[in-house]
Amino acid sequence: MILTTTNSIEGHNIVNYLGIVTGVAINKESIAMGFSMSKYYSKVQTSIEDVKEEAFQTLKAHAAKLHANAVVGIKVEIELTASNYAMVSVTGTAVKVIL
């Protein structure tokens, strides 16, 4: 599946717009701030990377249900909640393109 932040895919024609799809994921473990800021930032980075991957997998699954072979116009929002939970929301338009 092709995933892109742009509204078109160079070299491919979009033949059908199938709908907006979203993938949301949240880390269920709070990230505690300790004495070492470098360890805290490292934990935040790892948490965001893991949660972002989960959100993209959900996005692709939702697009596949619509029989899409690409998602265009992807927007990624990353948030660290007040309780230090990493949350990622990924939204885009599921489309059918001629490969």
Structural domains in the chain? 2-98 (3.30.110.70)
pLDDT digits (tens, 9 = 90+) for 69-85: 999 999 999 998 777 78
pLDDT digits (tens, 9 = 90+) for 51-73: 999 999 999 999 999 999 999 99
- The span from the CA of 53 to the CA of 46, in Å, is 11
- The span from the CA of 66 to the CA of 18, in Å, is 7
What per-residue confidence (pLDDT) applies to 88?
Answer: 94
Exposed / middle / buried, residue 36 (Cβ in 10 Å: 0-12, 13-18, 19+): exposed
Q: Which pTM value belongs to this model?
A: 0.84
